[in-house]
Amino acid sequence: MARITKKRKVALSKYDVEKNYEVAEAAKILKGISSSKFDASVELSVRLGIDVKQANQMVRGTVSLPHGTGKEVRILVLCTPDKEDEAKAAGADFVGLDEFITKIKGGWTDVDVVIATPSVMGKVGGLGKILGPRGLMPNPKIGTVTPEIGKAVKEAKAGKIEFKADKDGIVHVAVGKVSFDEQKITENAAEFLQTIVKAKPAAAKGAYIRSIFMSSTMSPSIRIESKSYAS
């Protein structure tokens, strides 16, 4: 059995691990038990009642968090020259096409979001094997293939994030930082959970949301009351 550290014992003594907490209560507890020396991310893990092997039950989408994630988002825009000024004005960190395609083929993926215009996807499509496994491949379904480059960049900078159920039917997302006040964490978490509920596949049967846990990067998990979301 793994040894429980002193810090973890102290954290676990501050709440009931078997209790289901409201989001606001969990946010308050989390701020009190997070002891990392850096500004840890606040994470939600939601187990869904879906069969991920069935294409019509996959849960994937985007959500704009009202208070952002607290993380500096590095954005690459792949576009034609006529869209470069729009991308730069909106705050994109890297803008171009052929030179960045060459860099990516060489192994460079030092960005958080890649956005592309539809007109360049013929060239970008060949990067799927590199960008896909890293969750960076532009996709029209999540708004990262779009002619509205400026809008897409601003949304990503403001806190628009992508979520996708993993092979076990669990969605993991960061909804802020421990340094956020309780209200901001609560509002970000609530926005994400409402989005997940709306994303329920028509083919999903039985309880949709099975469990919800909140944690920080290095803290124990806090169980969230899920009945109000389990439609």
**pLDDT recorded at residue 2:** 53
Q: What is the CATH number of the domain that holds 113?
A: 3.40.50.790
Coil, strand or helix: which one is 193?
helix
Q: Of 131, 157, 183, which residue sits at a domain end?
A: 157
Residues ≥6 apart with Cβ < 8 Å to 191: 63, 64, 65, 66
**pLDDT recorded at residue 230:** 59
Q: Clarify whether residues 103 and 151 are in a common domain.
A: yes
**Residue 173 maps to a domain:** yes
Residue burial 57-79, b: 16+ Cβ < 10 Å; e: rest? bbbebbbebebbbbeebebbbbb
Q: Clarify whether residues 165 and 123 are in a common domain.
A: no
Please state, rounded to an integer, the average pLDDT across all residues of the chain. 91
Tally of CB atoms within 10 A around 145: 20
Q: Of 109, 124, 157, which residue sits at a domain end?
A: 157
**pLDDT recorded at residue 20:** 95
Q: Clarify whether residues 101 and 146 are in a common domain.
A: yes
CA distance 176 to 52: 27
**Residue 4 maps to a domain:** no
Domain of 126, in residue numbers: 75-157
**Residue 205 maps to a domain:** yes
75-78 and 113-116 as β-strands: parallel, antiparallel, unpaired? parallel
Q: Clarify whether residues 84 and 132 are in a common domain.
A: yes
Name which of 173, 221, 176, 177 is nearest 196 in CA terms.
Answer: 173
**pLDDT recorded at residue 29:** 94
Q: Clarify whether residues 63 and 97 are in a common domain.
A: no
Strand partners, 96: 78
**Residue 138 maps to a domain:** yes
Q: In terms of pTM, does the model score above 0.75? A: yes
195 exposure class (CB count in 10 Å sphere: 0-12, 13-18, 19+): middle
**Residue 56 maps to a domain:** yes
CA distance 87 to 97: 12
Q: In what order do the strands lie in the sheet with 41-48?
A: 170-177, 41-48, 209-216, 222-224
**Residue 11 maps to a domain:** no
Q: Clarify whether residues 149 and 166 are in a common domain.
A: no
Q: How many domains does the chain have?
A: 2
Residues ≥6 apart with Cβ < 8 Å to 109: 130, 131, 134, 136
**pLDDT recorded at residue 146:** 96
* DSSP labels, 121-140: HHHHGGGHHHHGGGT-S--G
Q: Clarify whether residues 153 and 180 are in a common domain.
A: no
**Residue 137 maps to a domain:** yes
Name which of 65, 85, 50 is nearest 231 in CA terms.
Answer: 50
Alpha helices in 73-120 (DSSP H): 84-90, 98-105
pLDDT digits (tens, 9 = 90+) for 182-229: 999 999 999 999 999 999 999 988 889 999 999 998 889 999 998 877
Instruction: Give percent above pLDDT 70 in the chain.
Output: 97
Q: What is the CATH number of the domain that holds 211?
A: 3.30.190.20
Q: Clarify whether residues 138 and 153 are in a common domain.
A: yes
**pLDDT recorded at residue 30:** 94
**Residue 230 maps to a domain:** no
**pLDDT recorded at residue 1:** 44
Name which of 223, 169, 164, 220 is nearest 19 in CA terms.
Answer: 223
* pLDDT of 178 over the 50 cut: yes
H-helix or E-strand containing 26?
helix 23-33
Q: Clarify whether residues 120 and 94 are in a common domain.
A: yes
Q: Of 126, 142, 157, which residue sits at a domain end?
A: 157
Q: Clarify whether residues 109 and 145 are in a common domain.
A: yes
pLDDT digits (tens, 9 = 90+) for 101-119: 999 999 999 999 999 999 9
Q: Clarify whether residues 101 and 80 are in a common domain.
A: yes
pLDDT digits (tens, 9 = 90+) for 9-41: 888 888 888 899 999 999 999 998 887 788 899
Q: Clarify whether residues 178 and 140 are in a common domain.
A: no
